[in-house]
Structure 1
Amino acid sequence: MATQTPAVDCSRIGSAVEAGRGLMRALFTWGAGRRRRQELLLALVDQLGRLAEEMHRANLIQFHQMITGQLDRAIDDPALAAVLSTLDDLSDGERRQMLFANREYATNVLAYRVGMYDWGELLGALRVLCRNGVFATYWRRTVEHRLSLPDDSLEGRIAKAVDAVLEELDEDPDEWWVVGLSEESSG
């Protein structure tokens, strides 16, 4: 005698529903796990990016310390100062002043590059530095050094800003404290 299998067997449907629920749970668990793994991966990539930025800033600081050490030795020793300076017709004292002016400028630029200054703070520090006659002389005597800087580079934008500040100071030295250039207008 043949066994009859009903078209709809409740026990089989229940098993299929349970199997479907299990599959859905597995799918959502896998999806949630995948989503979690993606979130962790994105967080890791973000952390790696921040670490790379921090390493870059640390390398800039270390390089600046090395250059500053060389400048300090050159400022103390006229024979070494002659090696670092490209300016002619300077006394030993003037050469040391020019090297120190360069050192101060580089320190302010570094402060901006590592995030200690924003653009306005950098301009303020450079505006004060530009009021110093030795720095103004240094800047004017080293104009050829900046001719090859790309206009859109950070150094190029900063150089334009210093040029503008010195020009403003030449026009009206009593208004040296008035901040003129925004980051956008200098580059």
Structure 2
Amino acid sequence: MALRRNTAARSIGSAVAAGLALMRVSFARGADRRRLEQLLTELVQQLALMTEEIHRANLTQYYRLIADQNDRKLDDPTLAEASSTLGGLSDARRRQMIFANQQYGSLVLAHRVGVIGWDELLGHLRVLCINSVFAEYWDRTVDHRRSLPPDSVEAKIGATVDVMMEELAEEPDEWWVVGSVPGSEPEPEPPAHG
């Protein structure tokens, strides 16, 4: 983690130094001007990459906080009950639902930060969908997903899982091919700016 911060700090320092150099010679002409434009383009590209990396790091940290809370809920049934919106569950079943949510969330995170691509995500989701606990979790949380913005990555992944669940209900013996909708990959998230 410290290495990532140091690399980012060096990149930011390099970008600032390049920006200051550009400001000092803003009235350059000809070849100097083209070189300055090239440096400015490179600077903007570095800043965009750093912004994306910071966004992925923030997203990972957010999921880490959620996972820590879920771990506490798994250890303490009173905390699980206090945060659950699913009624009529035994303590053991509530823990299973929390764990199913955590498995799904981990896959979504892995895709969002670029650890796994769309096809690999579909493969993991296919396996997860054949699990009866996950199937119950998915059915019980349909209203939760309705609150997601329809154009969000998570809503699009959820819609894909909905298709998988429907196809599994029709052809349970062909679980390895459900959800293979061509061109169904959600658009990548735009980089965070700010």
Higher CA-based Rg: 1
**1:137 equivalent in alignment to 2:156:** no
The one-letter code sitting in structure 1 at the alignment partner of 2:51 is A
* Aligned twin of 1:160: 159
Equivalences for residues 17-28 of structure 1 within 5 A = none
Aligned residues: 159
Amino acid in structure 1 at the alignment position of 2:29 = W
| 2:5 aligned partner | none
Contiguous gaps of at least 5 residues in structure 2: 1-27, 188-194
What code does the residue aligned with 1:32 have? A
Q: CA deviation at 1:122?
A: 1.0
What is the TM-score with the length of structure 2 in the denominator? 0.78
User: Which of 29-38 and 85-94 deviates more?
Assistant: 29-38
Q: Secondary structure at the match of 2:176?
A: coil
Moved more, 117-126 or 174-183: 174-183
Report what 2:48 is aligned to: 49
Q: Quick one: distance in 2 between partners of 1:66 and 1:155?
A: 18
Equivalent pairs: percent with the same residue?
56
Is contact 1:130-1:136 (8 Å) kept? yes
Return the alpha-carbon distance in structure 2 between the equivalents of residues 84 and 106 of structure 1: 17
Matched-pair contact (CA < 8 Å) for 1:161–1:186? no
Match of 2:66 in 1: 67
Query: 1:5-51 CA deviation, whole Å, 9 max, x = no partner?
Result: xxxxxxxxxxxxxxxxxxxxxxxx83111100110111010000000
Q: Distance in 2 between matches of 1:150 and 1:183?
A: 20
Name the structure 2 match of 1:98.
Answer: 97
Instruction: Find the aligned partners of 1:149 and 1:127 in 2 and give their Cα distance.
Output: 22
What is the one-letter code of the residue matched to 2:147? S
Task: Please give the alpha-carbon distance, in whole angstroms, between the structure 1 residues aligned to 2:85 and 2:54.
Answer: 32
User: 1:151 Cα deviation (Å)?
Assistant: 2.6
Q: How far, CA to CA, are the matches of 2:114 and 2:91 in structure 1?
A: 35
Whole-angstrom CA distance in 2 between matches of 1:185 and 1:38: 36
3-state SS of the aligned residue for 2:29? helix
> Contact 1:119–1:182 (CA<8 Å) still a contact in 2?
no
CA contact (8 A) 2:118 2:185 kept: no
2: CA distance between counterparts of 1:152 and 1:132? 27
Q: CA deviation at 1:102?
A: 0.5
- Alpha-carbon offset, residue 63 of structure 1: 0.7
Greater RCO (CA < 8 Å, at least 6 residues apart): 2
Tell me by how many angstroms 1:128 deviates.
Answer: 0.7
In structure 1, list runs of 5 or more residues that go unmatched: 1-28
